[in-house]
Structure 1
Amino acid sequence: MALTFYPPDKRRRDLDGCISACKAYLDGLADALGVDDSRFTLSAKMSAICAHGGEVKVEVRG
């Protein structure tokens, strides 16, 4: 699973904090997929491109 964070502005962000903020969403995704979220292998990056209001792109790979 790959997470790409598009911040709402140019302020510096802590990638670990961004991943932690998505915990509930990742738990919900695991529940919807019917898998244990401990099986997820995450890669995460912070985009240099900003998105109005912020955005997180989640790519699920099989």
Structure 2
Amino acid sequence: MLFAEPAALYLDSARPKPDERGVVHVAVDTARRVSTPAGVRVHRVVGLAAQVRWSQ
């Protein structure tokens, strides 16, 4: 996900055991515009920073 930093896994991709064969869902803030690599679906989310529990 470094291509879209700051970003977070989203939807099924954020589950403890995501489907490794599917598309990776990544959330970014609505103000961001990123190039999407193959196999990744970018979701623009309002107020992303307030909704994410960022890792230490």
* Bucket of the pairwise TM-score, normalised by the shorter protein: under 0.3
Larger radius of gyration: 1
Higher helix share goes to which structure?
Answer: 1
Taking CA–CA contacts closer than 8 Å with sequence separation of 6 or more, which of the two structures ends up with the larger relative contact order? Answer: 1
